[in-house]
Structure 1
């Protein structure tokens, strides 16, 4: 029973970390998109 509890806690920790990383990835993608728009604005294609 102790093993099941430990595995459940570890699974919860991994799932929580996954959510955190997904949020960080969304934020980084937003920043990259913003930077790309700024670059496109400042350096239009010839």
Structure 2
């Protein structure tokens, strides 16, 4: 991402990082659940 000075852009970037982090966390949880169900059910 390009940095263009200004507090507004910094806030927007921080919000994007939070959303990105949440997405990674969700994907991680889904992967664990899928692996757990696969192990239990024998997929």
The TM-score, its normalising length taken from structure 2, stands at 0.75
Equivalent-residue separation in structure 2 for 1:20 and 1:9 (angstroms): 17
Higher relative contact order (CA 8 A, sep 6+): 2
The alignment yields a C-alpha RMSD, in angstroms, of: 1.7
**Structure with more helix by fraction:** 1
The TM-score, its normalising length taken from structure 1, stands at 0.71
Greater than 6 Å deviation, 4+ residue runs: none
Give the paired residue count: 39
Please list every run of 5 or more consecutive structure 1 residues that lacks an aligned counterpart in the other structure. none
CA radius of gyration, larger in: 1
